[in-house]
Amino acid sequence: MTQAIRSMMMSEEMIHKGLEGVLVTKTSICKVNGEEGKLYYYGYPIDVLEKYSSFEETSYLLLYSHLPNKEELADFTTKMRLARQISNPILEMIKTFPRDSHPMELLQSSINFLSGYVDHKIEHSAYCNCRQTLHQIAQLPTIIAAFYRIKNGLEYVPPRDDLNHGANFLYMLRGVVPDKEEGDIMDKCLILHAEHGLNASTFTARVVASSLSTCYCSISAAIGSLYGSLHGGANEKVVNMLKEIDSVQDVRPFLEEAARTKRKIMGMGHRVYKAMDPRAVLMEGYLKTLSTKKGNSVNYNLLKEIQKVFREMMDEKDKAIYPNVDFFSGAVYELLGIPPTLFTPIFAMARAPGWLSHILEQRQDNRIFRPKALFDGPLDREYLPLEAR
């Protein structure tokens, strides 16, 4: 074996497709303990934040790395709520945006549009005025709700500043103020999606930030990554799957057929978790509450039967595959009156503070990302004149 071939083989062994298992940075933002099914934001367990915090307070935590005191929270909440209103140019862009387009495409365009209203001398510095404008957090829900209503021939509903983040989104979407329980559940759903470590969209945001591009460009790129079918949209696919199953009695035959045809069961399994996703545990609670409240337990019963039968099948194979956050979240959103086409945009509007947190952290000790690739193409090819090809 020649040295060149030996070197090639050794190099190929060092390739980690998708960078799986490769350490590229240090972070103090998020800890995902996949073995024990635990999730932390800046050291705070997700179930503690879900129980005691609000999305606005959680956003402060992610942007400033500590929980606010009473005065800091009041000031931040006021600033964030006053930033919800979109400008007339943005509203006009929404009205003229192609109605057959996906709302994720609108979100990318809107973020880039917003960047025209900031001082780019500040924005390109190590500072990041996203903490001051809060555009990316406060205005994404307004843009999503406005697009949905306008696309469906309904009047635009401006945001209110007396509702929490989740309740205000439901209000802008529905046109009526939700009751407190539904508003709080929506707010808690956003907390659960606010951050989740170095996933594809977050890594995308950090890569763009590493070139010292603006936080607007970084968020736009992250939204593009989330739009991909391998990242966002799983909860929509779970809801579609439920429509294929007529009753609880049909669950086992459905799963057995899926196993025979090697069909993936959406909402089951996670790249990191080897135990049940802690967000799924909380989402299940919201679904049970809403199902009882609305007298509609069809999807809840189906999902619980799928979970039970699937676990039995996995136990036989000794596989640690459990529900992830997407397994229950789509059914929760449906009971809140949210159409499936908005599920991924909701993911984006919830993840905005997490993305911004990583952008800020990247700028603290920055080095531009520049990985290597193993070249395996031909060299010194003969160039033939056009007439001879």
Q: Of 72-76, 234-238, 363-367, which has the strongest mean pLDDT?
A: 72-76
Residue 317 lies inside a defined structural domain of this protein? yes
313 and 346 in a single domain? The answer is no
Q: Which of 187, 277, 326, 358 is catalytic?
A: 326
Residue 35 lies inside a defined structural domain of this protein? no
Residue 267 token pair: 């909402």
Residue 388 lies inside a defined structural domain of this protein? no
101 and 216 in a single domain? The answer is yes
224 and 246 in a single domain? The answer is no
Tell me the β-bridge partners of 268: 323
Q: Is 326 a catalytic residue?
A: yes
Say how far apart CA 212 and CA 214 lie, in whole Å.
Answer: 6
Residue 26 lies inside a defined structural domain of this protein? no
pLDDT tens figures, 48-63: 999 999 999 999 999 9
Number of domains in the chain: 2
Residue 184 lies inside a defined structural domain of this protein? yes
| pLDDT bucket at 114, cuts 50 / 70 / 90 | confident
Q: Report the CATH number that the domain containing residue 311 is assigned in CATH.
A: 1.10.230.10
344 and 329 in a single domain? The answer is no
Q: Is 365 a catalytic residue?
A: no
Q: Residue 283 to residues 68, 185, 331: CA-CA distances in angstroms?
A: 26, 9, 9
What's the pTM value of the predicted model, to 2 decimals? 0.93
Longest dimension (CA), the chain: 77
Residue 109 sits in which domain range?
Answer: 77-229+340-364
Is 4 a residue whose pLDDT tops 80? no
Q: Which of 135, 165, 196, 270 is catalytic?
A: 270
- The torsion of the CA quartet 9, 14, 15, 16, rounded to 10 degrees, works out to 150
Rounded mean pLDDT, 218-234:
92
Angle (nearest 5°) at CA 225 between 222 and 231: 120
351 and 305 in a single domain? The answer is no
Final residue before a domain boundary, out of 334, 352, 384: 334
Residue 85 token pair: 């209103």
239 and 261 in a single domain? The answer is yes
Say how far apart CA 52 and CA 23 lie, in whole Å.
Answer: 33
Closest CA to 188 of 53, 338, 289: 53
pLDDT tens figures, 172-224: 999 999 999 999 999 999 999 999 999 999 999 999 999 998 889 999 999 99
Say how far apart CA 105 and CA 172 lie, in whole Å.
Answer: 20
Task: Supply the pLDDT for residue 2.
Answer: 58
Tell me the β-bridge partners of 41: 30, 44
157 and 277 in a single domain? The answer is no
311 and 346 in a single domain? The answer is no
Do residues 91 and 156 touch, judged by C-beta distance below 8 A?
A: yes
Final residue before a domain boundary, out of 288, 317, 334: 334
Contacts of 63 (CB under 8 A, 6+ apart): 130, 131, 353, 356, 357, 360
Closest CA to 224 of 198, 202, 192: 202
